[in-house]
Structures are given as C-alpha cells and as structure tokens.
Amino acid sequence: MEARVIVNGESIVNWQSYDIRLSLGLVADEFSLSLGPPTRRLWDLCRLDAEVQIMLGNSPLIRGYIDDRGRVARRGEQTISIVGRSKMGRLIDESCPLMRLDGLDLETFCRKVCDPWFTTITLDGTRNRDLIRGRRSAKARARAPIFARRNETSLKVEPGETRQAVLQRFLRRAKLTAWESADGRELIVGQPNVQQDPQYRFTLPASPTSEFANRANVIGVDYRESVGERFSQIIVVGAGSGDGANYGRSVTRYRATADDDGFLRSKVLIVPHSDLRNQADAQERAEAERDERRSSRLQVSIETMGHSQRLVENAEAALFAPETIAEYYDEALDINERLIVAAVQLSGGRGTNGLTTLTLAPTDTIFIA
C-alpha cells in the first residue's frame, strides 16, 4: 500500500521515506518525511507551517503542519527533510484566550478551548478507527462507550496558560483524555473504548519448530512489567477552606487512600495538598495519582512487518490504528493478553512494505490527560 503525501493541497510524488507516530492522549501526533530529489519548487512548496496530510492508500493517517525543514546531502543522496506535528501541536504550544469557563457541558467546554483548531467535539472514536483501518476492511465489533458528561463549576484561564493545560485541568478531574482524528477534523474526548472484539492478533512462538511457528507475525517484542513508579498505597492528606458545615479558617482536614495491587510488601506514598475542597475531592486525587502511576505496570512493544493485518480471509486488511484491541500470545511464557493499542509508529520507504511498532497497554488502563 503506497503512501500519499499532500502539502498545501498538492500531491508530492517524489517522497522517499516516512515515519509517523499516532498516539492516544493529549499529545501531538508526529511525522517526518524525506523528499527528493530536491528542487526549488519542492523547497518553496514545503514552507514552514505548511499543511501536510499523509495517507496510506485511501486511509488518512495524520494532518498537521511543518515545524522544521532541511536540505540534506549525504553519501551521494540529496533530499529535503520535513518534520512536523498534527493539529494537536497548536493546543500544546498556543496560549488559551483569557475567559471564564463556568458550568459548561463537556462538548461546549472543549469546543471553546480548542476553537479554531477543533470545532467538532465527539465522545466516540468509532469514526476515527474506521477512517484509519479502511472503509472496506473487516472491522471488529464494538459497543458504544459510556461515561458521564461532567460539568466544571468554575474554571478561569490564567494568563499564558496553554490550551492543552486548560484542557488537562478539566479532563484530569473527570478522568478523561482526548485525542484527534486522523483527518484533523475532530477532537475525541473520553476514555478509549475497550468494549471491542480483537482487531489484530500477534503470536511469538517458543521456537522455529513450535506448532505455533506458522502463526509467527512479530519480528520484535519488548514485554515489560514494572512497580518502579507505583505504590501499594497512596495517601492524600491536606486541608480545605471550609464549607457550609465547616466554615472559618482553613482548618478542615481530609485524608483519602487508594490501593494498588501487584506488590509483595508495603510501599506507601503520602501526597500533601493545601487546596482540597472536600473529602470526595481528596479521594479523587488519591485515585488519580494511583491511576496515572498504574499506567506503567505493563507496557508491550511489538514490531511487525507491514502496516496492516487481515482479520478474516478474503477481506481487506485493516491498517493498524490506535484505540483498537489486539491479542498477544507468548508461547514460551504462556502469556495470553488482550490489550489496547495505545500508539502506532509506521515507517517505510518507497517500494517497501514498511515496518510498524505498536505500543500496547492493559485494557483497564485509565488514560489521564
């Protein structure tokens, strides 16, 4: 499947190689391209901040802007290199307009913060998954995600605060995250939908003579468990300014705990806060601290040839996409995991099948903005 590169609406036919990273979360997707041979027209077309769209076949992968460009001559090869980020990069870099954001529903809040870069806010990533996987590919069944639309009673934008930081303040408290659609049209807000059947299957046989050898479809695996940044118990302590029942000076004290599993002995972290609103706020912060640290408990990186996998025979292969489910089987360790695709990195050159590296996480991972 050939890549298509479009710069400022014009197709670039003489691209040489690409590297693209797509991720879940409030981070910018990234791309780098090698184009050539160099010409003055190509150099002028690839101006800094020019819009770039990259597709594989008819499937959009990323839409963004050029951050850096260069002219490279090395070992007889001459190219133009461009590096950039998706539209999410604007939310990361740009200061948010000063305004108050009081009592808004989820979609309205995100739309006000993200305008003009994202004016469509959606709570379901189905359209985006279908965009990347391909219109004709066989797609795993999925049930619609369900979560509460939380309101924020009072939030004021501070001078110089980035759009991303404002979103983070709101979404972290609601235990939500956000990511963008591959065509750059929508901001998707919520938690990844894990109520899906597996879209991909990866098998690591114990040996070349194993009964599973004919199913081998990985060229590299890094399966890593960790408790290094985690704690068996997190305790949040602190004071608040009082309320209708506890008024006066800031003497109302709160304490909340959140436990984590996977430890053979106690490991405790105490986190102080001076601005706790009530006991529920203390509990939310303890759980948020645990959930953010817990995301490191298992990370699986899989390298595989090509950028797609066929789910059923005689069907079009589906491109690898974030927010899908993958099954991973390790015969030697007898590990059989159902995991969510948290990130996809695709790299390749003209005339090659390409290489994909997938980052997988447990399906009960809470993605925090």
CATH-assigned architecture of domain 200-226+297-362: Roll (2.30)
pLDDT digits (tens, 9 = 90+) for 150-192: 544 457 899 999 999 999 988 888 889 999 999 999 999 999 9
Domain 3-86 has CATH 2.30.300.10: yes
pLDDT the model gives residue 153: 44
Q: Model pTM?
A: 0.90
pLDDT string in tens for the chain (369-residue length): 788 999 999 999 889 999 999 999 989 999 999 999 999 999 999 999 999 999 998 899 999 999 999 999 988 889 999 999 999 999 999 999 998 888 888 889 999 999 999 999 999 999 999 999 876 676 777 765 554 455 444 578 999 999 999 999 888 888 899 999 999 999 999 999 999 999 999 999 999 999 999 999 999 999 999 999 999 999 999 986 655 555 555 456 899 999 999 999 999 999 999 888 899 989 999 999 999 999 999 999 999 999 999 877 777 889 999 999 999 999 999 999 999 999 999 999 988 889 999 999 999 998 887
Rg of the chain, C-alpha, whole Å: 23
Domain residue ranges in the chain? 3-86, 91-190, 200-226+297-362, 233-293
Q: Are 349 and 17 in contact (CB under 8 A)?
A: yes
Three-state secondary structure string covering 139-157: CCCECCCCCCCCCECCCEC
C-alpha–C-alpha distance, residues 296 and 30, integer Å? 22
C-alpha–C-alpha distance, residues 234 and 265, integer Å? 14
Query: What is the CB neighbour count within 10 angstroms for residue 39?
Result: 12
For the chain, the distance separating the N- and C-terminal CA atoms, rounded to the nearest angstrom, is 33
pLDDT digits (tens, 9 = 90+) for 86-132: 999 999 999 999 988 888 888 899 999 999 999 999 999 999 999 99
Tell me if domain 3-86 and domain 91-190 are identical in fold. no
Query: What is the CB neighbour count within 10 angstroms for residue 216?
Result: 14
Task: Give the SS3 label for residue 287.
Answer: helix
CATH-assigned architecture of domain 91-190: 3-Layer(bab) Sandwich (3.55)
What φ, ψ does residue 294 adopt, rounded to 5°? -70, -20
C-alpha–C-alpha distance, residues 55 and 38, integer Å? 22
Which is nearest to 273 in space by CA: 248, 255, 258?
255
